[in-house]
Amino acid sequence: MATAESNFRLRNLLLAVLSGVLLTLAFPPGRLSFVAWFALVPLLVCLENRSPARAFILGLVSGLAHYLSLIYWIVVVLGRYGNLNAPIAFLALFLLSLYLSLYLALFACMSGLVRESGFHAVLAACFWVALEYLRGYVLTGFPWCLLGYTQYEQLWLIQISDLAGVYGVSFLIVFANGLIFSMLMRRGPKDAASLRWEIPLFLIFLTGTFIYGNNRLQKEKTGDGNTRVIRAAVVQANIDQSIKWDPAFQTETVRTYQRLTLSAMAFEPGLIVWPETSLPFFFQNSRKFFPEIVFLAERSGAILVFGSPAYKPVDGEIRYFNRAYMITPNTRQIQYYDKTHLVPFGEYVPLKKYIPFIGQLVQAAGDFARGETLAPLKAGSISAGILICFEVVFPELARTLTREGANLLVNITNDAWFGMTSAPYQHLSMAVFRAVENRRPMIRAANTGFSAFIGPEGTILARSSLYTEEVLKRALSLPGPSLTFYTRFGDLFALVLSLVTLFSCLWAGWKRRR
């Protein structure tokens, strides 16, 4: 009997781990996005007849298997570039993965509570979306690789993002997983009755998504006649992270950007974009390079966008910012945007003021301040909503910029921190959704890749390779001022599903107490 019980527990643990691994396989760089549609089934199977406490533990195990294999690149960032020793880097990876796994554990627990409900599959999808939405805000938010991002190449499917955001795609995927589980584990007339409702409901959602997606794709092809065309160039200089901040290499770095920029002049671009911190010094007071960069913009005749650290005195102290500049030729107007959503433990240390020893543990972290204004930079017909690095994973930032008048999204980043891992692929996949949600084209400039042009329907029009010097050139159509439903109303879909989740859990808890 003891052996049978041990085997049963081992089976459940293996099923939980299998779900975690399948979830990871569905994300880039692999091309197995279809795996997402059944990745949760093993987890749901092992939750059958489990108590809420055991369901929570199995969900935690599944989450650890998923996140340890998904964001393993944290070790590369902290070890190679953060100068932390291997044990500390692995500990950081484990703690972050454990935190993220709590959401999957809660999903498992909540799904078990409503297993007897007539709408188990659809409620499971509601729970998943509510927890993804919550993850985007708790502790400043870490909405990295939400489930819907696995489908970034399925253009017909992701068009609903201009209505429901990435959460609409996540909902469909988990709904499908729940249906497969219910069909496999059908236990009697009650389950059969539930399937008679849920299968037609899923087919209605899926058919509606397919029709809407194809209509939107056709509309994007024909255009609305209210567009202007700009010619843009992206410079990917491939500056090695190990020398990037060495003052001895500043001149070489600037010369590389000048050379690559001038190579694009035959294309006659109206806009040129360099990556985040492409100038690894304080551009604002550089006597040597400030006039050179301004002259380069004048010579090119193009609006120049680039990143550089900056500082200014505030209340008697010096504050540092991760800044994007825009130089408009002829007028010599220089605008800037300071990053508003910083990376915790990367660009600042949370609670450092109150818990000083935290700062000593992560001395490699930056000490940047948040920008105060989130608004597009404007020059001529261009109104560029700038998203610096990590900011592109937060839908509300792109929404706000679009509502403030941005007709173009510009993501500048330095993904050299990630090394040759899966992180650059994951980062690019999330940028695609910001373009679709707001129906705005996106220009992405990355120091080592992936630089890209992304159409408003999510098509990656051009993409660089990793760790190469490249100049991408493309003509883009700037849309008119019309706003999508998602841009206007935000995460209304996710909020409604969060309310459904709350009431469902309260109802299930009340029934269990009875």
Which residues carry out catalysis? 276, 339, 389
Edge-to-edge strand order for the sheet containing 452-454?
A: 377-379, 382-388, 408-413, 442-446, 452-454, 460-463
384, amino acid identity: A
Residue 18 is which amino acid? L
345: closest CA among 323, 367, 369, 324? 367
Amino acid at 268: E
Select from 114, 138, 136, 141 the least CA-distant residue to 125.
114
Instruction: Tell me if residue 12 falls in helix, strand or coil.
Output: helix
Closest to 128 in 3D by CA, of 15, 12, 23: 23
- Using a 10 angstrom Cβ sphere, with 0-12 exposed, 13-18 middle and 19 or more buried, the burial of residue 352 is middle
How long a stretch of residues is the chain?
514
- Tokens at residue 124, please? 């499971």
Number of Cα atoms under 13 Å in the Cβ half of residue 277: 22
Distances (CA, A) of 65 to 60, 97, 104: 9, 9, 11
Return the DSSP state at 149.
Answer: G
Paired residues of 310 in beta bridges: 321
First to last CA, the chain: 33
> Could you give phi then psi for residue 378, rounded to 5 degrees?
-120, 140
Is residue 358 within 8 A of residue 349, CB to CB? The reply is: yes
Number of other CB atoms surrounding residue 243 within 10 Å: 13
- In 238-368 the beta strands, taken as DSSP E runs, fall at 271-273, 303-314, 317-328, 333-338
